[in-house]
Every structure is written in structure tokens, then in C-alpha cells.
Amino acid sequence: MLKESVLKALSDQVNAEFYSAYLYFGMSAYADRLGYRGVANWLYVQSREEMAHAVHIYRHILERGESPALGDIKAPPASFGSIKEVFEKVLAHERHVSDLINKIASIAMGEQDHATYNFLAWYVSEQVEEEANAEELLSKVKLADNNTGAMYNLDASLAARKFVDPFPQTGD
């Protein structure tokens, strides 16, 4: 059984993960409209990962004998500026998600919910990786700025990204 504060924080995170998926889905469509199909693919895969995170947290709540409180998911922006601005927003968003995960981990420890704290350890590590990936991509986009050949190559390399379910054992 989850304490109310942990349940609320986890439920809020399920909603935040669904918003992340929605945000990256919108960014993917935007990049596609600009003709950056590789960037669109990278963002689409990112969206699928965020959905997997939402379901994984949702299942943790259920396994602990509770039901998540699902809330409204706001619409993401329709326009994001340049591809550089897209990746600036990706990095800012991943930093925001890291803050959310860290707060939930602190709540879980404060409530001495070691099972949830242990569950969240994967997310803490994942967010380090997510921020590093976003920083690297933003750096590459900045390096390619105003160089159409370099941007073409970067876009082509991002087209190769494939979705790998981070939780295959759960059948998501």
C-alpha cells in the first residue's frame, strides 16, 4: 500500500510522462513538417519511450494496491521555432522531468517507502542519460548551424533510431 503523498506524486508523474509523450509527439510532427524526417523519427521514438515510462509507473501503482489518479493532459505547443530551439526545449524539458523524479524519490524516502524509492532509482539514472543525450544533440545541432550538409547528415543519423522497450518483461 502506498502512502497518500507517494500515490499523489506517482500519479502526477504518470500524467507528466503522458504529457512528455504528447510534447515529443507534437515536436515530431513539427520537425516532419519542416522536412527533418530524421529529427521527427528521433522525437517520435522519444514519445514512445515516455509512454512506456507512464505505463511502467502506472503498473507500479497498481502493483502496490492503488489506482492512479489520471488528470487532464494539456496540449503541447503547435510550433517550436528552429530545430535548435526544439532541442533547447527538449533539454529544458528533460531537466524538468529530472526535478520531478528527484522530488518523488525524496517523498518516497521521507515516507520510508523503500520499494518506491528502489523503483525510482532506474528513473534517476535514466534522467541522467536523457539529459546527456539532449545536451549532445543540442551541441550537434549548434555545430551544424547554417551548414546544410552537416544538418542533413545529422538528420540522416537520427532517422536510424529505433524504439526499444525499456520494460520488455512487462509486455508494454
Evaluate whether residue 43 is within a structural domain.
yes
List the one residue out of 42, 6, 5, 1 whose CA is nearest residue 24. 42
Evaluate whether residue 90 is within a structural domain.
yes
Place of cell 533539454: 91
Work out the pLDDT band at 168, boundaries 50, 70, 90. Answer: confident
**Burial (CB count <10 Å: 0-12, 13-18, 19+), residue 4:** exposed
Evaluate whether residue 102 is within a structural domain.
yes
Evaluate whether residue 169 is within a structural domain.
no
pTM of the model: 0.94
Evaluate whether residue 155 is within a structural domain.
yes
CATH of residue 74: 1.20.1260.10
Q: How many domains does the chain have?
A: 1
Evaluate whether residue 91 is within a structural domain.
yes
Place of cell 503498473: 59
117-143 pLDDT tens trace:
999 999 999 999 999 999 999 999 999
Domain containing residue 79: 4-162
Q: Which residues have a Cβ under 8 Å from the Cβ of 133 and sit 6 or more positions away?
A: none
- Torsional class of 73: left (φ above 0), alpha (ψ -120 to 50), beta (otherwise): beta
DSSP assignment letter at 77: P
Evaluate whether residue 171 is within a structural domain.
no
Work out the pLDDT band at 171, boundaries 50, 70, 90. Answer: low
Evaluate whether residue 25 is within a structural domain.
yes
